[in-house]
């Protein structure tokens, strides 16, 4: 019954911008971007400047950016500058993961999309490449808390390649990779044998495969989905060497921030923004600067990958 209702047709709650729609119809490369980094990752107006810079990096490579967010009960794929400003200025916008989407849409509310929900919006629109900072994963101490990001399960079922600087350093990287392996998610290192740890180029763990050119990754995406092997792919793209942080400094700051989170009773989805804020303070802003640079780099590589993927489809 619900599938036949005009009220719940996809067009009622999914809005793709004209620019993105035209690019997809013409078989041009499009790259999805998340909005959590705007509403929860940085303060205004730095968050807007960073979002616009990420979009510009994608355009410079000949691709079209498609930032994803939920605004007034609509999943929007491709935002205007006014909509970006709306997200950046409003610090009360809910962080929206897969479980949150139904009620956000039903109540006509706003939501800043995580990696998981950005993948969902991208896949609904027909976008297969997504650039972010780092994926979520298994949190330290998950043996007791069971705190595991929905990003990992989304990667197991949604056909989007995620270009990232590995997983956030605050996570248990080893267990994160184990979960990805269990769910059959390929982890491809772009020009690296090491799985990056966000602020650092080498987390101490390896990748499943290394690719020194993006055309081979694009072909792997094509074969994976053409064979019916559902689910995404992690394209691990290390932070550029000149922006890498000192591993000892960042690990010490993370451990201190984790202890502070525990002492303050910070749990669930509030842990990551709390720790990132503490890292910003402890590193005197260097962690935030590194964060922005790795996001820009991922946006550039994602645009190049999207271009290669469109070629493979033709």
45: preceding bond cis by omega (within 30 degrees): yes
Asked about 270 being catalytic, the answer comes back as no
By C-alpha distance, which of 121, 82, 88 is closest to 104? 121
Q: List C-alpha distances in Å: 274 to 33, 259, 292, 309.
A: 22, 11, 18, 37
Binning the chain into helix, strand and coil, the percentages to the nearest 5 are: 55, 20, 30
Which has more pLDDT, 186 or 271?
186
Interatomic CA distance for residues 8 and 212, integer angstroms? 44
- Domain boundaries in the chain? 2-313
CA distance 247 to 74: 41
Torsion, Cα of 233, 238, 243, 244 (10° steps): 120
Using CB atoms within 10 Å of the CB of residue 222, give its burial: 0 to 12 exposed, 13 to 18 middle, 19+ buried.
middle
- For the chain, the average pLDDT equals 93
Domain 2-313, architecture per CATH: 3-Layer(aba) Sandwich (3.40)
More confident residue, 313 or 59: 59
The active-site residue out of 34, 55, 244, 308 is: 34
Share of the chain above pLDDT 90, in %: 79
User: Residue 110's pLDDT is what?
Assistant: 98
Instruction: Say what the pLDDT of residue 275 is.
Output: 81
pLDDT at 8 over 60: no
Instruction: Name the DSSP class of 107.
Output: T
pLDDT of amino acid 157: 97
Q: Is 46 a catalytic residue?
A: no
DSSP secondary structure code for residue 255 in this structure: H
The arithmetic mean of pLDDT across residues 244-250, rounded, is: 93
Query: Which of these, 152, 161, 133, lies nearest to 239 by C-alpha position?
Result: 133
- Residues 120 and 159: their CA atoms lie apart, in Å, by 9
> Which residue among the candidates 76, 95, 168, 224 is catalytic per the annotation?
168
Is the Cβ–Cβ distance between 200 and 283 less than 8 Å?
no
């Amino acid at each position: 019954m619900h599938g036949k209702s005009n009220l719940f047709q996809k067009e009622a709650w999914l809005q793709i911008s004209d620019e993105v729609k035209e690019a997809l119809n013409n078989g041009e490369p499009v790259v999805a971007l998340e909005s959590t980094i705007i509403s929860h990752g940085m303060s205004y107006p730095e968050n807007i400047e960073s979002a616009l810079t990420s979009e510009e990096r994608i355009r410079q490579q000949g691709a079209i950016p498609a930032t994803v967010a939920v605004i007034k009960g609509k999943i929007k794929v491709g935002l205007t500058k006014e909509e970006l400003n709306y997200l950046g200025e409003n610090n009360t916008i809910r962080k929206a993961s897969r479980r949150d989407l139904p009620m956000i849409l039903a109540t006509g509310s706003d939501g800043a999309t995580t990696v998981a929900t950005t993948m969902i919006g991208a896949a609904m629109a027909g976008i297969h490449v997504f650039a972010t900072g780092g994926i979520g994963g298994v949190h330290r101490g998950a043996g007791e808390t069971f705190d595991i990001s929905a990003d990992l399960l989304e990667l197991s079922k949604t056909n989007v390649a995620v270009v990232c600087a590995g997983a956030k350093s605050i996570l248990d990287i080893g267990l994160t990779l184990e979960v990805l392996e269990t769910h059959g998610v390929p982890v491809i290192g772009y020009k690296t044998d090491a799985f990056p740890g966000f602020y650092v180029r080498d987390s101490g763990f390896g990748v499943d495969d290394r690719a020194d050119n993006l055309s081979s990754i694009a072909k792997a995406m094509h074969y994976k989905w053409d064979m019916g092997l559902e689910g995404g792919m992690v394209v691990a793209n290390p932070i550029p060497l000149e922006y890498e942080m000192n591993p000892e400094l960042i690990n010490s700051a993370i451990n201190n921030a984790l202890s502070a989170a525990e002492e303050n009773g910070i749990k669930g989805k509030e842990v990551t923004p709390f720790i990132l804020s503490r890292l910003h303070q402890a590193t005197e802003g260097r962690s935030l600067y590194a964060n922005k640079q790795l996001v820009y780099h991922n946006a550039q590589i994602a645009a190049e990958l999207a271009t290669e993927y469109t070629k493979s489809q033709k």
